[in-house]
Chains A and B, each alone.
Chain A
Amino acid sequence: MSHRFLASYGLLAALLAVVLLAVAPLAGQAPPAGARNTSGSAKNWTPPRTVDGQPDIQGVWANNVATPLERPQALAGKQVLSDAEVAALQETARQLFDGETDAAFGDSVFETVLQKAKGFTSRDAGTGNYNHFWLVERNFDNRTSLVTDPPDGRLPQLTPEGQKKREAARIRRGRPAIGPEDRGLGERCISFGSPRLGAGYNSYYHILQSAGYVAIVMETIHDARIIPLDGRPHVGKNIRQWLGDSRGHWEGNTLVVDTINYSSKSDVAGGGENAHVTERFTRISADTLQYEVTVNDPATWTKPWTAMVPMRRSQDKVFEFACHEGNAGLHGILAGARAQEKAAEEAAKKSSR
């Protein structure tokens, strides 16, 4: 139906981009908990080299995987899905997300498919948002959580400090915004944070390499990380940055990036300013970049945790996000909160008369 509509506007054929390449299922590539690069593909496949002799990980990589961050309780103890189970999930997704449902973000795609819950409705408190056509198609693989360590696929317990911080954030976001600072960094077009594990929403990364640097351009809010590879020390502890201070080096075919010095306002995958993040980028096939991240933040979690995302090579470009320029939504949120306050004041005046 809509394909006819699209075609009727005569633009589909020329501009249709392949969002996800049909690549082989990732069956068998899930590393055991805490393991490094153990995939069979990695052993048998040698990445091309850049002119400087580095393993070539350049290109646009997409994270549109449906796998949830944490293993759902319903799949407790089940680390790997069979190919038949993956195919069944993908088919259920095809049936459930026909474009007419509310947009399903993040883990809600996997959860809805797992429950075979028909007619997905946004949890966006009554208003919904827009329909699912606005979101990219998600790909299922044989894993049940991005978290590989702890082995149960769940994030470690929060520390009391971590709980307190999360509760404060919940209160800030739940109340009518007093000012922009009550809203998240993404809503304010400041940053979607790094490391970012969120899939399916402009989750594209353009990696560029030169002899001394690796640059990672994130589509969201056109953040760019420029990572020196020359072994220089980190900047001083007093220099805190939104995306932290990163240093990279190669271990075989794996680019290892250490990041510290986040700001107290940074979003570090849910962690805070003193997090130490270690990322490992390994191209395990022409079209797959294994992205593994370990977050060590004793202030937030009782122990470190590791997650792995198999990013897929995309033929698409990364588009400039130009978020702040068009961010009418934040204005709407604040104007709405002020209108609500005014209405409450007037109601109070009336009742006191």
Chain B
Amino acid sequence: MRKLAFVAVGLLLAARPLVAHHAFSAEFDANKPIQLTGTVTKMEWINPHAWIHIDVKKPDGTVEKWMIEGGTPNTLLRRGFTKNSLTVGTEIKVDGYQAKDGSMRGNGRDLTLPDGRKLFMGSSGTGAPRDGKDATEPGKK
């Protein structure tokens, strides 16, 4: 099924304007889901993809250093989110998939704070924070 989907995507991509940077399925392994809890040590606010560095403490006390890939930072910057918005020491939970080469890198499909709030989340419409500037926002007159 996944193979079929992949072929379909290939066909679509070839026929359409370039709209994303790269296919995560080429970099990450759909058979290696990861669930990590760690503390942020660095936020790399770079193109084409932002990287969040976290230290993940293992049950035996050792620490693994993971890098989590996000999207382009430009959009978040336009939303008012900067590299200082996610401060060092913040604990986050990551749901994603590990890199195909087995390194400690993954994509951050879902990033959650300890109290359950989603990190990059919450919007009216297709994404803007509820700041009153979005005409499509619920309750906006």
A in complex with B: yes
Residues of A within 8 A of B (CB): 1-3, 5-6, 9, 11-19, 22, 69, 90-91, 93-94, 97-100, 102-103, 105-107, 109, 122-138, 155, 166, 169-170, 173-174, 176-177, 183-187, 189, 192-193, 196-202, 219, 267, 269-270, 316, 319, 321-323, 325-330, 332-333, 335-340
Given A93-B126, A107-B16, also A5-B30 (CB < 8 A): no
Tell whether, in the assembled complex, residue A5 and residue B19 are in contact, meaning their CB atoms are under 8 Å apart. no
In the complex, B130 has a CB within 8 A of chain A: yes
Residues of B within 8 A of A (CB): 2, 5-31, 44, 46-49, 51, 67, 69-72, 74-82, 84-87, 96-97, 99-103, 105, 107-110, 113, 117-131, 133-136, 138
Given A17-B80, A267-B18, A321-B47, also A129-B24 (CB < 8 A): yes
Q: A93-B125, A133-B127, A187-B21 are in contact. List 19 more A-B contacts (CB 8 A).
A: A3-B122, A6-B81, A15-B77, A16-B80, A17-B78, A93-B136, A98-B121, A134-B76, A138-B126, A177-B26, A186-B18, A192-B18, A198-B18, A199-B19, A202-B74, A323-B48, A326-B49, A328-B49, A336-B29
Q: Per a CB cutoff under 8 Å, which of B2, B10, B49, B126 touches A170?
A: B10
Residues on the B chain within 8 Å of A166, using CB: 14-15
Least CB distance, B7 to chain A, in whole angstroms: 7
Least CB distance, B113 to chain A, in whole angstroms: 7
Least CB distance, A54 to chain B, in whole angstroms: 29
Tell whether, in the assembled complex, residue B18 and residue A336 are in contact, meaning their CB atoms are under 8 Å apart. no
Tell whether, in the assembled complex, residue B14 and residue A133 are in contact, meaning their CB atoms are under 8 Å apart. no
Least CB distance, A211 to chain B, in whole angstroms: 31
Tell whether, in the assembled complex, residue A327 and residue B48 are in contact, meaning their CB atoms are under 8 Å apart. yes
Closest to B69 in A: A329
Residues on the B chain within 8 Å of A107, using CB: 16
Residues on the A chain within 8 Å of B138, using CB: 94
Tell whether, in the assembled complex, residue B24 and residue A19 are in contact, meaning their CB atoms are under 8 Å apart. no
Tell whether, in the assembled complex, residue A326 and residue B84 are in contact, meaning their CB atoms are under 8 Å apart. no
Complexed CA–CA distance, A193 and B135 (Å): 32
Given A129-B107, A130-B107, also A136-B25 (CB < 8 A): no
The 23 listed contacts between A and B (C-beta, < 8 Å) are A3-B122, A6-B85, A9-B84, A11-B85, A17-B79, A18-B133, A93-B125, A93-B136, A99-B118, A99-B120, A100-B118, A100-B121, A107-B16, A127-B29, A127-B96, A136-B78, A174-B7, A201-B72, A319-B74, A321-B48, A328-B51, A332-B27, A335-B100
